Amino acid sequence: MSGGLEKKVVKLISAEDFEFVIDYDAACVSNTIRNMLNSQGNFIESEEGEIRFPSITTPVLEVVCKYFYYKLRYANTASESIPEFKVAPEMALELLMAANYLDT
């Protein structure tokens, strides 16, 4: 790609080594991820744009990634026109723990 702007992406890797490649802006919905990617020094996360989450399972990380895009999409929208972000009840606790860790 010459002359065009390349969109920056981030690779998030689940406990099972499943890789989610998402837009940098979506990943930065998480304050934890934003801090990891923008930290000063020679940290592998900021150099390679890749973050491993050994305690977050693939299904949970998938929902987290969907939420990042949902949050970006509706960030500046009137609250009454934002659709509900549905979560399966059996995933609620794991998602809550992941959201807490990711500061989302």
Report the CATH architecture of 9-102.
2-Layer Sandwich (3.30)
Q: Which residue reads 């002359």 in tokens?
A: 3
Mean pLDDT of 37-59: 83
Distance between CA 20 and CA 92 in Å, rounded?
A: 20
Predicted local distance difference test score (pLDDT) of residue 48: 80
Which pLDDT tens digit goes with each residue over 53-91? 999 999 999 999 999 999 999 988 887 788 999 999 999
Domains of the chain, by residue range, sit at: 9-102
Least confident among 16-20, 24-28, 39-43:
39-43
Residue 26 has pLDDT above 70, yes or no: yes
